[in-house]
Chains A and B, each alone.
Chain A
Amino acid sequence: AQSVTQPDIHITVSEGASLELRCNYSYGATPYLFWYVQSPGQGLQLLLKYFSGDTLVQGIKGFEAEFKRSQSSFNLRKPSVHWSDAAEYFCAVGGGGGADGLTFGKGTHLIIQP
């Protein structure tokens, strides 16, 4: 069965500092990996996705993620965070070309300190 682990429930970062959110997955085949962001009371917005090819993928809002097959990881990074980045971040894994659903991690709550 597929699964996603986000080991950090909460992370606090100072505005302007760099950010890395961890994600580890378990999947029996080549995974499709996603990062979503959720602001309070809102739906989930896609930040970026990985299917194949270049293991470093660029997303919206200045985010990037690196796929490391040997570590079963897909960590999200941003070189300099802004107060507006405060939100809940979810890593997800899926497959089947969209014919089946995504399995989500429990999320990481990002707090930005002024």
Chain B
Amino acid sequence: DAGVIQSPRHEVTEMGQEVTLRCKPISGHNSLFWYRQTMMRGLELLIYFNNNVPIDDSGMPEDRFSAKMPNASFSTLKIQPSEPRDSAVYFCASTKTGAPRRDGYTFGSGTRLTVV
């Protein structure tokens, strides 16, 4: 099991550019979560999907943020246009609905985004 795979690990971009973060959940997991971690706000849930359908995006900070899950094995988080205050570590996590009792929630290694 390769775990939750995120790419890229590091991203440096200029203000105003579009940024796309990618996530591949564990095979068989049908719930996927995007989190953002900053020193000031800690770990915040941005959006989550169940069976590829967005369930709650109330944590998405602005319309500049969007997320998709076109199939069970891939999700993207896009920021357009990016701003310096978007600099953070973005984590993806997955689990199987009804199975966190056994499996917990598995996190990827994160993408460290720096917007200059």
Contacts and interface: CB of A to CB of B under 8 A. Distances in A.
Max count, chain A CB within 10 A of own CB: residue among B42, B56, B105: B105
A98 B98 contact: yes
Nearest to B51: A99
A44 B104 contact: no
Nearest to A106: B42
Nearest to B3: A43
A111 B18 CA distance: 38
Nearest to A36: B107
**B interface secondary structure, majority:** strand
Interface in B67-100: 91, 93, 95-100
Contact of B55 (A100, A103, A107): A100
Q: In which size bucket is the chain A interface?
A: 20 to 34
A97 B45 contact: no
A51 B99 CA distance: 11
A66 to B, nearest CB: 18
A32 interface: yes
Given A102-B45, A104-B43, A107-B42, A46 B31 contact: no
Given A43-B110, A105-B42, A99 B97 contact: yes
Contacts of A89: none
B26 to A, nearest CB: 13
Given A98-B31, A99-B55, 4 more contacts: A43-B107, A97-B98, A101-B35, A107-B42
Interface of B: 31, 33, 35, 42-43, 45, 48, 50, 55-56, 91, 93, 95-101, 104-110
Interface of A: 32, 34, 36, 42-46, 49, 51, 90, 94, 97-107
